[in-house]
Structure 1
Amino acid sequence: MTSSALVNINPFTPESYRKQFLQSSGKRKTRGDLEEADPGEGKVQQGLPAKRCVLRETNMTSRYEKEFMEVEKIGVGEFGTVYKCIKRLDGCVYAIKRSTKSFAELANENLALHEVYAHAVLGHHPHVVRYYSAWVEDDHMIIQNEYCNGGSLQAAICENIKSGNPFEEPQLKDILLQISLGLKYIHNSDMVHLDIKPIKQPSPCSPRAQGTEKGRTLSQVVKSKYKRNIFICHQMQSDSPVVQEEIENDADWFLSANVIYKIGDLGLATSINTPKVEEGDIHFLAKEILQEDYQHLPKGDIFALGLTIAVAAGAESLPSNGDMWHHIRKGNLPHIPQELSEEFYNLLKNMIHPDPRKRPSAAALARSRVLRPSLGRTEELQRQLNLERMKTATLERELREAQQAQYPREGHSDPEVSGTPAGSRSTKRPVGGKSAKSLSFPCGKSSP
């Protein structure tokens, strides 16, 4: 079997892109083409891709031990364990995730590859945890991701609960805005996350959860066994601060922020147009998704994000069923033990509206005046700046035309101005004839 058959097909890449890439050489075909092909065309084209073969053949001397120095274990979840590691070659810190189950223990290998597929297609965005590489070692999936030095939103919420100081409104707005920017990017990539949440319910900070972890500190409980999907990065101090005027779009504004919030764990992500939905945490799940109505999947992420902000604001553990669960799905926020401004509270309520069509989109949140009150002024200044640039460009063009008219090209000058007979043309071309003229003033008297 040739190497062309040992390629996985990423389900998140657009079909048109897949066809163009796989058929560009005339040697690779999509699955549909393979089924219609003549059986006698050659065995190289059979079964694209041979996933089990790819995974088995990836075995090698431990790349993990060879390339990385393990510093500490920073998290254990249902699907894998995450380690803080330093790459020996570049000296940078990364988060390395190793799957809990081997491929031999999985009923479907695609489930293990799902997160890799999603990360690879998304690429780099400041509010999505960055993906670097993935490989299979000892029949386990290993993913190399960005290391977030501020830990998780889950851990921050737990510390706030412990100290009795939940996030205040300015911080809540900041979290909501940044995660909205990340969701906007994911949704624009024709994907939905489907597992947005700050913390596994019941909260690992609650007495019930901590009671099962006797003898361990709060930070150890938080690190040990709870899935985290929103992470925090603290900006490194720079000697050259960002100038506000240089921040012109959603992708750049974060450069001035000290704390960056990022979306991670894409294990349940799916395509908007061709969804294969694995339901997320029932505590944050929108009712329409539970009822298998997938017409407005991005608004399911918005619903979960609204409840995420409510929990960050101090709301108690969310119910998994019962009257309160249905009460929230009717558009009612859980009790928040702090007073929020009316406009912000109403925005959160709109995010959990029972009709998904009436919830704001991630793009609308990213441009909300509630979250970005200075956006109107910024847009006006940007509009004026663009107008001035257009005026400047027009004046520069008119100046060039005036200069060309004043100093025309040789052979097209006005005889009355130049004093040269119309029928005579000079065959000599002075150096610098096309440049603007300059005057020189000699220091001494010139000889007659």
Structure 2
Amino acid sequence: MKPALHVQLKAPSANSVAPSPAPIMNRPLMEYLERNPRDPSRETQYSIAAGADSETQSIRSIPETPGGTRGPDPLMNYTLRPEDIITIKKLGEGSAGTVCKVQHVPTGFVMARKHVRCDPNPDFQRLLQRELKTLDRCHSPWIVTFYGAYMEDDELAICMEYCEGGSMDAVYRRVAEKGQTISENILGKISEAVLNGLVYLHKMHHVIHRDLKPSNIVVTMSGRIKLCDFGVSGDLVNSLAETFVGTSYYMAPERIQGGKYPVQSDVWSLGLTMIEIAQMKNPFPKNLAAFELLHYIVNQPVPSLPEDEPWSSDFRDFLNQCFIKDFMKRPTPEQIMKHPFIEDSSKRSDEEVDMKSWIQHVWDFESPTAQTPKII
């Protein structure tokens, strides 16, 4: 394997000539990662299966092995270079950059690529390298896979797993358009997967997500629920002043009040995320200015499901536990995993709650194995 290449993250000045894009070897990521090699046993334990791309039969995906582990990485022996990557379509765009579905031409492999504008501030660059290191070391069924990154002019291109089912905000909008609802059993599987991801990040990497919301929960066409944007897009994009109101909807009271950011803050955000997916709309009043929204979150009663809707007492209590305003009394992700709503969900088999058939039904994706889902 070729030696890893170090990336100079500092953006060129207006009067300087931009250097050629400097690729980063995706395995290992940077020179400093060579001093902290992977633990192969841990990689096997937390490797994942990327869902096959449903739109283009010729595009190869990581082969799935029995038990849901990931086969050989097709990018293992490649340096990611801009000239080897073509854009298939744009997936989204925000003030911090653009996300596109792309293809690595030498292998035919499909990824999601996110461009993040790089601030020349040294503190930002140190944070960026730390976050990339964390991304590279995450191997979990509940976290999107990081494939590599490279500099292109003054932007960092981050290549991640492409999840064909899209983000949960796109999913619930699609369900609403079809005049359908999302069942509590599906909500249970989503909550269970998100909590597994949060527990993994905290226990294995001492990372708090900090930006949990429906758009940062994605699903593959095989029905796997995964977390994304917990690192670069959480801390770094927020530091670049990404749309404040959009993120502040999911902020816990302690964060709004300027306190520390404990792991329980992610649980508050999970509650808001799940009630939004359940009702297929944001639970807060519309058209609030940023200050009004923050004041509302801290001082007004917490969101709740309408009493006339047929939700179970377990799901209602699960949300109530997420919405405890005093974070010292609010459960951690690991603690709330023991809630009856989550424990009951974990006991339901894939046959009972067929997430694959469900997401394929949502997007009207037809395949030889696709069937009408048992639970919608």
**Normalised by the size of structure 1, how large is the TM-score?**
0.53
Structure 1: 5+ residue stretches without partners: 9-49, 199-227, 236-258, 271-275, 379-448
User: Does residue 181 of structure 2 align to residue 166 of structure 1?
Assistant: yes
User: Does residue 163 of structure 2 align to residue 193 of structure 1?
Assistant: no
Q: Which amino acid aligns with 1:231?
A: V
User: Does residue 232 of structure 2 align to residue 267 of structure 1?
Assistant: yes
For residues 282 and 103 of structure 1, the distance between their equivalents in structure 2, rounded to whole angstroms, comes to: 23
Contact 1:195–1:281 (CA under 8 A) maintained in structure 2: yes
Structure 1 counterpart of 2:217: 230
Larger % of helix: which?
A: 1
* Deviation (angstroms), 1:94: 0.7
For residues 110 and 296 of structure 2, the distance between their equivalents in structure 1, rounded to whole angstroms, comes to: 44
Q: Which amino acid aligns with 2:228?
A: G
Structure 2: 5+ residue stretches without partners: 24-78, 350-376
* Deviation (angstroms), 1:323: 8.4
Classify 1:104/1:153 alpha carbon distance in 2 versus 1 (closer, same or farther; 3 Å): same
For residues 348 and 213 of structure 2, the distance between their equivalents in structure 1, rounded to whole angstroms, comes to: 33
Structure 2 counterpart of 1:415: none
For residues 110 and 300 of structure 1, the distance between their equivalents in structure 2, rounded to whole angstroms, comes to: 25
Structure 2 counterpart of 1:332: 302
Contact 1:197–1:229 (CA under 8 A) maintained in structure 2: yes
* Deviation (angstroms), 1:161: 2.5
For residues 135 and 170 of structure 1, the distance between their equivalents in structure 2, rounded to whole angstroms, comes to: 40
Structure 2 counterpart of 1:366: 337
CA RMSD of aligned residues (A): 3.9
Structure 2 counterpart of 1:77: 94
Contact 1:128–1:262 (CA under 8 A) maintained in structure 2: yes
For residues 176 and 113 of structure 1, the distance between their equivalents in structure 2, rounded to whole angstroms, comes to: 30
Aligned length: 275
* Deviation (angstroms), 1:118: 3.6
User: Does residue 257 of structure 2 align to residue 291 of structure 1?
Assistant: yes
* Deviation (angstroms), 1:82: 1.4
For residues 344 and 164 of structure 2, the distance between their equivalents in structure 1, rounded to whole angstroms, comes to: 29
Which structure: larger Rg?
1
For residues 169 and 348 of structure 2, the distance between their equivalents in structure 1, rounded to whole angstroms, comes to: 34
* Deviation (angstroms), 1:372: 2.5
Deviations 1:344-374 (A, max 9, x none): 1011111110121222221233343322328
Deviations 1:220-242 (A, max 9, x none): xxxxxxxx31111122xxxxxxx
Secondary structure of 1:52's partner? coil
Structure 2 counterpart of 1:311: 276
Structure 2 counterpart of 1:149: 164
Deviations 1:389-440 (A, max 9, x none): xxxxxxxxxxxxxxxxxxxxxxxxxxxxxxxxxxxxxxxxxxxxxxxxxxxx
Classify 1:139/1:176 alpha carbon distance in 2 versus 1 (closer, same or farther; 3 Å): same
* Deviation (angstroms), 1:191: 1.0
For residues 119 and 302 of structure 2, the distance between their equivalents in structure 1, rounded to whole angstroms, comes to: 43
Structure 2 counterpart of 1:403: none
* Deviation (angstroms), 1:291: 1.6
* Deviation (angstroms), 1:333: 2.1
